[in-house]
A and B are shown apart, each in its own frame.
Chain A
Amino acid sequence: MKIIDAVHVFFDYMRRDENDKIEEISPALSDMNLEIEKGSFVCVLGHNGSGKSTFAKMVNGLLLPKKGKVYVEEMDTADDSLLLKIRETAGMVFQNPDNQIIGNIVEEDVAFGPENIGVPTDEIRQRVDASLKAVNMTKYRKKSPGRLSGGQKQRVAIAGVMAMKPECIILDEPTAMLDPIGRKDVIRTVRELNKKEGITIVLITHYMEEAVDADRIIVMDEGHVVMDGKPEDIFKRVEELKALRLDVPQVTELAYELRKAGLPLPECVLRREELCDILTKLLKPVESFKRPADGHNF
């Protein structure tokens, strides 16, 4: 069953001068088509200006298509009367953790969403507790968000979305402003929510390493989908990705170069451990070479 369905979506940003005359039109989405299955973990890649953030805002009804339709669980985002229901179904986490936390105490912030949709008080309490537990932030619930690290703030933001009991969470570059530890924390949390709670995740990111574990990768360029498939199918097209100004994970690139140099490696290697195993096996027959003591240490 599909949860998000974008059909021939067009959108452009207009810049107007003081006299309200259109100065410049920059297209953001042009003929975008995409279906996302319920319960899947989808990663959207694309360089700056490829339209991925614009698409994210469409799903939540923050932006409406100029042409075409976006459906969330068969609800049309252009229908004003369904807007709250849509935002409840598809929650959104933004890039800057500071600019999306409204409350001054962690649990008050998490409660903001359910308060808006009129959930009874007792149930808000339950939802807040459950959401904070799901992102592993229960012990910080009385803290002021200002005292948390970037990764923790982002997890609070995710909890805030979780408290609305969404079917789907769209994360628009949630790790762009975080340090590596915070980044790992956030991604781990998101993955757990997908596995344990069955929530559909749409993760928009710049970091290829985060895309490796997705069920499906979507590559966008110039406002529409240019590649769509499983991580191993996408990342083996190294040259094509480079042409789109995208990278592949470091391990994949190394494996790709080694393969080009003539080593018998599989077409696409995504994980470091995987490449280690393959290479040690390759080294075994050549016993005259001194193997490093610990094969996992390069």
Chain B
Amino acid sequence: MLRDITIGQYYPSDSLIHRLDPRVKLASTMLFLISLFITGSIAAYIFAGLVLLLVIRISRIPVKFIVKGLKAVFILLLISVSFNLFLTPGEVIFKLGFLHITREGVRIAVFMAVRLIYLIIGSSLMTLTTTPNELTDGLEKSLGFLNKAHIPVHEIAMMMSIALRFIPILIEETDKIMKAQMARGADFDTGGLMDRAKAMVPLLVPLFLSAFRRAADLAQAMEARCYHGGEGRTKLKPLRYKRRDYIAYFTVAIYFIIMLSTRFIGI
């Protein structure tokens, strides 16, 4: 179950989306997320969905892979949907005991679900097609102006990229510790909430311990390879905009304008 999380895992391929400049992908993802929250009509969501589908197609990532990533946030989805469903005041269409569903509630819940699903697919598309190093390169370069405000952009970017790289390793480790503890009689699946929370202690303590140890090792390995912050650093793949990047910007701009206009025209 722990292996299902796709956020932060790169899916190697050589599609057009993979080759785009990470800054384009970052900006596009941001615009896409914003666009989801400024519109509120079915037509707009269908349009956004089609665009998303098209991008998935171009990126050549199997849909199964993306759907698997959704499973991990299913509970979150369920909670936010049910809150919206039951707690929105308005015209009651269904009543069961103290629970009542309103027309507005259904509408908001469905929209919320669609938004969240799109949001997750959209952002995992970015991480699936961009290596963490590219991603942080992109962040570093596009946020470089913050350096003047004494914000250590390079360091933050480096931390993010390392965190991303260690997600699969730590997941694997969690699995391993879980199995080791289960072999010694630990029980993670039964009992009430408190019991389960308590059962996590023998899992979390060794996990944290090993994470710290790994961090110390990694820091040493980085130092041994002459790492000394962002100063004077060069790149194997420096970011340079190409023609396809400008085209992508243009396309995304058009998409955004269309989404924006649905709000004002009222489709």
Contacts and interface: CB of A to CB of B under 8 A. Distances in A.
Contacts, number: 99
A118 B236 contact: no
B234 A99 contact: no
A112 B133 CA distance: 10
Nearest to A108: B133
A160 B218 CA distance: 14
Interface residues of A, number: 40
Contacts of A100: 217-218, 221
Interface string A123-150: 0110010000000000000111010000
A176 interface: no
Contacts of B228: 84, 116
Interface string B214-251: 10011011111111100011111110000000000000
Contact of A116 (B12, B162, B169, B225): B225
B132 interface: yes
A99 B226 contact: no
A241 B217 CA distance: 31
A119 B233 CA distance: 8
B168 interface: yes
Contact of A118 (B10, B162, B234): B234
A60 B222 CA distance: 12
A121 interface: yes
Interface string B9-26: 010100000000000000
A104 interface: yes
A116 B131 contact: no
Given A98-B214, A103-B133, A115 B236 contact: yes
Interface size class on chain B is 20 to 34
A84 B226 contact: yes
Contacts of B165: 102-104
Interface in B126-156: 131-133
Contacts of A113: 225-226
A87 B226 contact: yes
B217 A96 contact: yes
Contacts of B227: 112, 116
Nearest to A102: B222
B214 A99 contact: yes
Contact of B226 (A88, A94, A98, A121): A88
Given A108-B133, A116-B227, A144-B10, A99 B221 contact: yes
B127 to A, nearest CB: 11
Nearest to B11: A144
Given A62-B223, A105-B131, A124-B236, 10 more contacts: A62-B224, A88-B226, A94-B217, A99-B218, A100-B218, A103-B165, A107-B236, A117-B226, A118-B233, A146-B168
7 contacts: A94-B217, A99-B218, A104-B132, A104-B161, A105-B10, A108-B133, A108-B237
Interface of B: 10, 12, 131-133, 161-162, 164-165, 168-169, 214, 217-218, 220-228, 232-238
